[in-house]
Every structure is written in structure tokens, then in C-alpha cells.
Chain A
């Protein structure tokens, strides 16, 4: 069926924000005055176009459009065509990215009003939106990979946006490195597809899954999962996400809560036909989701930095989504529904946190907040609605979508069903605890503000998006589950939803979860709400709290497993490469000394030691070759 009319210009959705980014970056200071408005305009236009395309899509047979844009590589044995695929799955992501993206652009107009780097910020934000749209709209794994690297780059640039803070620079590096670990997995999976199938287009790969050996499919599944874990902050690569909160708050809302970090869920959901063929890899997805869900929730209970608590909450909620996609066809729609609902309420919560920081001179320590409900009424109400949606207050978003995941987990049956269901319910209780703690410490109780802080409500450009997102937080779950069932919309992608035989009646599940959530909130009130909150964190605490404060030692593990051996390797190589030692020492000396004197001293390597090195290499080569021959 030929593609005509509006759908034939789907590519414009990507090009609009990309053009905005290019104009702002190349235009230089000339665009300082109106650049942010242009950037916002392109994303709003992209959103409008995305809505129109999605409407047009509903009338098409099969509800999918494939656009071939141009041939990237086409030689006899290698064929990569760059093309786009708009189907129900990519359509919901496009709407989420452009919709939330547009709101956050509007918010940033107010938030970044006084920042000297405003133009650069909006350019990166546009770049991110374009790359993320390419990620979800590409019709092959290579196109996805291009977008994947693009969002990684944009994320790196935005985390380090306030580069003068050492913590921001370090966090950006950490995010970059941990993402690279995941990217290696994704790249390898793509190479396996090439080597085995000669194609990476979704249609080609999924059509040929049956031809692959079982082990190969499992390998691809696990490698894709590694990539997904890196991008989505899942165990064991979760440690970068909380640190990434050093970036400006709108970035945390858009990239590190609503969109980019859900790319892993998209990848696994998109690869559903692959995972259908490999129960092993799917079980690992499940396990990763369950473990991360608990790690994030536990770590979230002990932190005092408002953005870090929200970040751990994101880690934990994406764990729910991984759990759901790991459960197989019954879970896909539930995962995507939770992802969309989470996109709304978590973005709203972050914007609310940004508004609080705005009011409190960029303080993030919740021990210095308190009593803000009266001073920031709009923030309080919108944040409160997001909070209720997140913990799963009945009939708000989280209640619809999280309960659906818990039901699916329990329906798995057997001991694993009970275990996973139990973990998911426990996670819901912990979520209620840490979020209630956050609410109480921020908005209630006696003010514990630092001297000279005069909280004031944010300008309308910031509050308006918060209000819209709060409306979304309230309504999204109901709309997606009950009014326009997402499972029906996604049917062309994931197949007809099975009518599940419930082991436990949904009503019972709902009641149990609500009780557990209420207990979590009550505990928080008992611990935090009734007492005076000390302005410094107590030092003498139980080992459990210490562990939670340190993110369950994820950094320690990473350091001892990866960083130290890496540093040893570097030192050993530098030592071997005698030049390197000289270079480093002289480089340091040169930085201190300056002037022309340093130039003569930089180069002190001796030819004799170089020659010895070459001779050593030659002896090794000869020895090895003789050993092979003998």
C-alpha cells in the first residue's frame, strides 16, 4: 500500500527539532534572543504533526507505515536502508516524546531565563528530541543504534551542562562510561544479526528468527538486554542515573525520567518476536526488572536529595516495566501503559522539584525544606497529584497501570509467580514510604530553611506545564486502561491480548496493594511526619540505612570490578611505555611552568629504549610464530 498524504512526511517530525538544533548551534549569538522560542516552536510543531500522523494511522490497514528514505549502504553483501516505521508502538512513543518534550521546552523558557548558556541548552534539548525520535521511528536496529548514540551524546552534554561544577563533570563521565558498556552489548547484537541474517531491519530479523539456532537467539536477547540496562539504568548498570541529576532539572524530567531512560523498555518491547523465541533471555529480563525494582525502592528510602530520591524512584519504576516485558506477551501492553503514565507523573514530579529548587535558591537537601505547601500552592497541588499517581492512589494513573503489572506477575503462577508478585507488591509499599517521606519533609512540618531564603511561586511558563502534566498524571492511567485500551491499539504489534485466567481476582489484588501502600505511607508518617526532622542526617544509623544511602554499594562494586583493574591496566601500560611516564610528568611540569622552556622538555624519550622495545616485540613475534609452526 503506497504511502501518501500526511504520512509520507513522517520524517518531518524528526527534521523539525533537528533543524532547530542546527540553527541554534550554527547561528551563534545572533540567535540568543529568540533561539529558545524557535526551539520550543519546532517541538510543538513536531507534536502537532505527530498527532495528525497518528490519527491518519488509525485508518490504515495494519496500522503501520514503512518509509524508505535512502540507501545507507548497499553493496553486494551488505544492505542497510535507512527508513522509518510508524506503527502503534512507535506512535505512542512519538507522542510521548514530542508531547512531554514540548511541555518541558515551555517550562525551560522560565527555568533557564537567566542562564547565560540558554541558547546552547535549547539546542542540546532539540538535538535530544530529534535523536530520540529517530531511535523510536527507525525501521532497523542500525537506525535505532544511530538514535541510541545520539541520545547518549545529548544526555552527556546536558548532564555536564553546568560544567563548572566538578560533580556535574564527573556524573557526565560516569553516565557516558556506563552507557558505553551497554552500547557494546547492543553493537554486538547488531553484528550477530548481520553475520547470521545479513539484515537488521525489524521485518527481516523477525521474519528469520525461526532460522536461527536457539543459542544465537539467546545471545542476541542477552546482548540487547545489556544495551537496555545501560540506557535504562537497570541492574547492574543503574549507578549512573542518580548521579545524572547534576544536570538542569528540565533535563532530569525529560531525559532521565520520561523518555530516554525508557528506551531500554522500547528496545525489548520492539524485539518481542526475538524474546518470544528465547525463554532464557526473557527470564533474565524478568529477573533484572525484579531486582532493580527493589534496589531502586530501597535506595530511595534513605536519600535526602530530592532529585536523587526521584531518580531512584525512576530506576525502580523502570524495573516494573522490565518485569512486565519479561513476563511475555501478556505484559507488553501493561509495560507500555505504565511507561506512558510514568512519563506523565514523573516528568511532573521533576518539574515540581525544579520549582521547589527555584524557590529555595537551588537547595536540593530535603532536610532544609519543610512547610512549603503554603508558600508554593500550585507546586504543592501539582506535585501532590503526581505523588498520588506514583504511589498508586486508587483511580489515579499509577493505580491502573501498576496494578495491571502486579496482576500479570501473579498470573504467571507457581512459586515464581508468587515471588514476583510479592516483590512487586513490596515495591509498591516501599514506593509509598519514600514518596510520603519526601512529601512530608518538603511540604509539611516546620520550615527548616536556610537563612535568607524567601520561597516564592514560579512564573506561569513553569507552572502551566506542571498543571498540564498533573492533569495527565490523574487521567492517563484511566484513559489508557479503561477508555482507550492500549492493548487494543498495540494489537497489530504484539498480537491479540490473551484473555488471562486470573489466579487471584483483580479485586483482591487491588485491595491488598492498596492496604500495603497505605501501610507504607503510614510508616513514613510515623517516622517523619510526627517528629521533628533534624537538619543534618543522623550519623548513627543501622547498617541497612547505611547500605541504602550508598545505593546498595553499586559504586563500590563498580569501582572494585571495573575501575581499579582499569586504573591498574593504565598504570601498567604507562609504566611500560616509558614515554608515557615522561610525557605525563613533563606535561604536569609544563602546565605549571609554562612558556617556551617546557617545549624542549616534553620530549625526553630515548631512542635506545624505543629500539629495545621494537626488538622485544620482534623477538616475541618470532618466538610466537616458531611456536605456532613447531
Chain B
């Protein structure tokens, strides 16, 4: 048995990942060695340094095309673009997590997660200003996992990254300070179903390995070309896709989304809705384009159908929702369908506009949805956040600014011109049309028309209804949430009015290696 040789690592190309994982490990050490009183600011600072450092690193690395770690990781345009996107969304989410001004108990996160909900000790801690500061290393690990996910050039690494990003999220979902049972229920549901979906992914991985003899994406590609698609390989592809679509909350694998989005602390929901989607689609794009790009006849009809189902389910069921968080969850399902429309827009041999369009859409959607969920944390009643639609009636009279910002985000989600949502939709639809996917774009336009209706309903409710007498109050956010809202609103506007340079960047980055 020969000695195992250490793989050759290009540390420069891995700098973004090293930053984030470094910050996460440091965060764990901080929990052990730093006194409780100063832990919170220290943890926030470390998480921010890690994510912003990663962002700067991706920008400095722009243009790199390199395969490293013995072929397991690909550092290329799409990986860097999406890693940068995740780093931005991650940094903004950390800011949302660190908000201390809104909740009377000074944090939306629980003081001690391990105390049973509803116990005497739990009630004592409900008003304590303590925070479970492990949320920051957990979030940073999740961000690291997501960034790894987009760069994984190997199905095994992809699976490891999937778990690295998922496990912290399961925990974070259960850490709400208020409505703890709802939050814990969400965490358990997400965990059980996530494990179920991971099993599909793993089984698919095994089948693909059996069919092609390798888990390296480039080897799978070669095997597909030389041997053609066997039933085993196609079945494996199908199961891999199921696992990824679950993470991306594409219907019919979406059923967890509304419950988990509703139950999780809103800051975590914002993080999941924005960053997880970017990571999942990063992996979907890499898997389909790099490994199975030459056999697109196998997955194209499948993705086509999933896109239609997801858009229709998200748009139609969104109409019946009475809770703002659930409504945004169904909106996220519909947007997953729109994103798949962009995935379809890949031309033969990786040409075409689909990749750049999808990446742009991910950035635009991530920022907007983060802003929308961020705003939800401001509208509160005595019981925490007020998310029932009836409580939002007449909000414009209580706080014109919050109502105006929310309207702006909702219009962007609806894809009204001069917002980033329009530019993104425009790009993905155009990409799909260039490969002749007419019926898909027609469905997408109809679905976005339906979806626009439930976004507008909220706007109408905020502006045109009389406020309920015991309605919610609008909290004054501290600096972190203010920064998040300002950045996301500005980005939504700029990407809608002057998207040129970012579109250029996405187009320049749209080349896979491997």
C-alpha cells in the first residue's frame, strides 16, 4: 500500500474559503476562551472580517481559472462570482443577526438553546439579555459550506459541502427567542427532510460512480461522451438533481419551505432564502453544465418541467397565503422556477447567455429578498414580529418609510421595470428564448403576472386599508439593520437602473473550467 500523498493546494486560489473557515474556527475558540460579556461584539467582528475578507479575495482573484486540491475544487469565473455573492449576502445576514435594538430582550436569538421550551428556566431566560453567541460561528460555517458548494468539482466534495452548509442551518432555524416551539418544529422538519434529501443525493452519487467509475465532474463528462447515457447514469443524475432541487426549494420538493421560513428566526430565514439559493443553484449549474453538459438531452426536459411546476405552484399558492413570511416563501419557490428558466438557457457546448443570466438573477434576487425579510423584523407587536397579513393593514400611516421600502422590494420581486427584478427576469427569459424555449417563457410571464398580484395585494393593504386598532408598532432599527436595508435597497435600485457593469461582470465570469 503506497503512502498517501498530500494534494497540491493553491492557497491563493482558495483564499476566500480560507478566510471564511478561518473565521468560523476562530469563532469556536472565542466561545471557549473569551469572557461572555465581550463575546457578542467579538464574534460579530470575526464573522464580518471573515465574510468581507472573502469578498475582497474573490474580487482580487477575478479572472482566475484553476483546478486545485487534486482536482476536487475548481476556482473559475462562476465559482468566484457566486462566492462573492454569497460573501456579500453572508456579511449582510451577519449584520441582521447582530441587531440589538429591536427586541426588548436585545436579540432575536434565544439565550440558551438547550433549555426546554416553556420550562421555568426558559421563561426566566426569555427576558435575559444573554445571546447564544454560537450563532456566528454556525452562520460562518454555513457560509463556508455554501462557498465550497459552488466550487466543488467532485461529487464527494459537493456532498461534504452540502452537509457543511446544511447542519448549521438546521440548528440556526431552532434558535428563535420567541415562539420557540414553532422555531424548534421548523428546525426538526428541516433536519428530517434535509436528511431525506441528502440520502437521495448520496444514492445518486453512488449510481453515477457505478455508471462512470468516477466522482470527478470532468471524468463523468468524458464517460458520458464515450459511453453515452446508460440507465444507471441517468437515474443517478435524476437523484442528484432531486437532492439539489430540495435545497433550492423547487416544487415539488418545496414542501418544507413555507414551514421552515415561517418558523425560523427572520434573520435566519433571510439568510436561507438569499444565500442557500445561490449556493444550490451554483451546484446545479456546475453539475449540469460541467458533468452533463454534453448529455443535455437527459436533463433538459426534466429541468423544463420542474421550472414550470415550480413557477405555477409558487405563484398560485402564494395567492392563498395570509402570512407575510409564508407568502415570501412561496415567492421564493416561484423564483426558483424563474431561475431554472435561466438554467434552460444554456446553449450547446456551454455557449449562450443562460449562465451569466442565472448568476445575475441570483445576485439580484438574493439582495432583494434579504432586504424584504430584513424589513419584516421591524414590524412587531407585543409577541415579537407581526407577520399576519391583517396586521400589515394601513402600515403606511404608521410608518411611511417602512411601507415605501417594502413596496419597493415587493415591486422588485414582482419584476417591475427599473428594479433589479426586472433586469434579472429579462436576462433569464431572453436566455431561454435564445435556445427556443418559448412555452417556458410564456408560462413564466403568466406566472409572474399571477405572482405580481399577491405582491401588489400587500402594497394595497399597507396603503389603502385602515390600520387595525391594536396593530403592530414599527421598531426603530439599530445601525446593523439600517445598513442592511440601505445596501439592499440601493442595490435593488442600481441593478435595475444601471445594471450594465454587473451584467458585464457576470458575462465575463460565465466560463466553467474542468
Contact = CB atoms under 8 A, between A and B. Distances in A.
Name, among A184, A614, A620, A630, the residue most crowded by chain B CB atoms within 10 Å (CB to CB). Answer: A614
A303 B442 CA distance: 37
Given A614-B193, A629-B298, A574 B417 contact: no
Contacts of A180: 449, 452-453
Contacts of B182: 599-600, 602-603
Contacts of B234: 625-626, 628-629
B238 A614 contact: no
Contact of A573 (B259, B262, B298, B313): B313
B433 A75 contact: no
B21 to A, nearest CB: 31
A195 B430 contact: yes
B134 interface: no
Interface stretch (A329-337, A492-500, A582-590): A582-590
Given A145-B417, A195-B430, A621 B255 contact: no
A154 to B, nearest CB: 12
How many chain B residues sit at the interface, stated as a range, is 35 or more
A535 interface: no
Interface in B46-67: none
Contacts of A145: 417
Contact of B302 (A569, A607, A625): A625
A191 interface: yes
B242 A621 contact: yes
Contacts of A163: 460, 464-465
A617 B242 contact: yes
Nearest to B319: A570
Contacts of A78: 353, 427, 430, 503
Interface stretch (B10-18, B90-98, B320-328): B320-328
A187 interface: yes
Interface string A169-201: 100010011001101100110011011000000
A580 interface: yes
A178 to B, nearest CB: 11
Contacts of B142: none
Contacts, number: 192
B497 to A, nearest CB: 8
B416 interface: yes
A140 B383 CA distance: 51
A605 interface: yes
Nearest to A192: B433
A432 B497 CA distance: 49
B270 interface: no
User: Quick one: which of A28, A150, A583, A618 has the most chain B CB within 10 A?
Assistant: A618
Interface in B404-461: 404, 416-418, 423, 427, 429-430, 433-434, 441-442, 445-446, 449, 452-453, 456, 460
Nearest to A572: B316
Summarize A's interface: helix, strand, loop or mixed: helix
Interface size class of A (residues with CB under 8 A): 35 or more
A536 interface: no
Contacts of B229: 629
A622 B235 contact: yes
A609 to B, nearest CB: 8
Interface stretch (A65-73, A266-274, A442-450, A483-491): A65-73
A184 B445 contact: yes
B242 A618 contact: yes
B317 A605 contact: no
A210 interface: no
Q: Which of A78, A145, A163 has the most CB of B within 10 A?
A: A78
A149 B500 contact: no
B33 interface: no
Contacts of B322: 583-584, 587-588, 590-591
A620 B306 CA distance: 11
B258 A579 contact: yes
Contact of B200 (A587, A603, A613, A618): A618
A593 to B, nearest CB: 11
B263 interface: yes
Interface string B453-496: 10010001000110000000000000000000000000000000
B383 A621 contact: no
A602 B464 contact: no
Nearest to B309: A617
Interface string B154-168: 000000000000000
A607 B192 contact: yes
Contacts of A192: 433
Given A70-B498, A605-B255, A617-B252, A191 B429 contact: yes
Contacts of B323: 583, 587, 602
A614 B301 contact: no
Given A72-B499, A194-B430, A625-B302, A614 B253 contact: yes
A309 interface: no
Nearest to A609: B255
Interface in A32-47: none
Nearest to B452: A180
Contacts of B241: 621
14 contacts: A72-B497, A73-B423, A180-B452, A188-B441, A194-B430, A194-B433, A573-B313, A587-B321, A591-B322, A591-B390, A602-B262, A618-B239, A621-B239, A626-B231
Interface of A: 25-26, 28, 70-78, 145-146, 149-150, 153, 156, 160, 163, 169, 173, 176-177, 180-181, 183-184, 187-188, 191-192, 194-195, 569-570, 573-574, 577, 579-580, 583-584, 587-588, 590-591, 596, 599-600, 602-603, 605, 607, 609-611, 613-614, 616-618, 620-622, 624-626, 628-630
User: Which 9 A-B residue pairings sit nearest by Cβ, starting from the closest?
Assistant: A587-B322, A163-B464, A617-B252, A180-B449, A610-B255, A146-B417, A625-B238, A184-B445, A618-B242
